[in-house]
Copies of this chain bind each other. A is one copy, B any other.
Amino acid sequence: MKSTLLSAAAVAPALPGDARALPPALPDFELIELLFFAYRDFVGEPDRLLERHGFGRAHHRVIHFINRHPGLTVAELLDILEITKQSLARVLKDLIHGDFVEQKAGAEDRRQRLLFLTDKGRALADGLAAMQHQRISRAVAAIGPEHRPMIARFLAELIDKERGAAPATAPSAS
């Protein structure tokens, strides 16, 4: 197994003084792959807890955002998750039938179904969040808590900006 790992580097050698228009800068494979592995494990652990309830990742996202924004409407949830009505309907039905989520008609606009977690739902959401928090907490501790803002900034910069009104993370003050 002769490592051809560095072959790409040989393609664009740093010929000093060569004015070739911007040498194509090697892809940052390290961060690309770290993101892949990190995210996989980050969601993998919660996945195993969800399995016990017969739920999947989609259910996780739904109860997470309902937990974060109690009284959220279906339309708002669709905006955040960027999935279709049909995709949401399925998992929402599971969650409501399993008594993890409940709906209340909107007070002002009675067409709306405001979404809330039941105690059971909140317990699950908290359990899942605790797992992910634990993992993040360890990682933040490893780099030193003073660098946490940099992580947040970095991740925020990875997000598409041209989306209607930042999704749900920052805009608590809007």
Contacts and interface: CB of A to CB of B under 8 A. Distances in A.
The number of times this chain is found in the oligomer is 2
Given A4-B71, A7-B70, A34 B156 contact: yes
A35 interface: yes
Contacts of A68: 5, 29, 33
A87 interface: no
Nearest to A1: B71
A30 B172 CA distance: 10
Given A38-B156, A154-B151, A172 B5 contact: yes
Given A4-B70, A138-B157, A157-B142, A35 B29 contact: no
Contact of A143 (B5, B39, B154, B169): B154
Nearest to A42: B158
Contact of A132 (B27, B41, B44, B71): B27
29 contacts: A3-B172, A5-B69, A7-B70, A24-B130, A25-B133, A26-B133, A27-B126, A27-B129, A28-B136, A28-B140, A30-B152, A31-B136, A31-B148, A32-B136, A33-B68, A34-B152, A37-B159, A37-B167, A38-B155, A39-B39, A42-B158, A138-B157, A139-B157, A142-B154, A142-B157, A143-B150, A143-B153, A150-B151, A151-B151
Given A143-B153, A151-B154, 5 more contacts: A5-B69, A25-B133, A27-B130, A30-B169, A150-B151
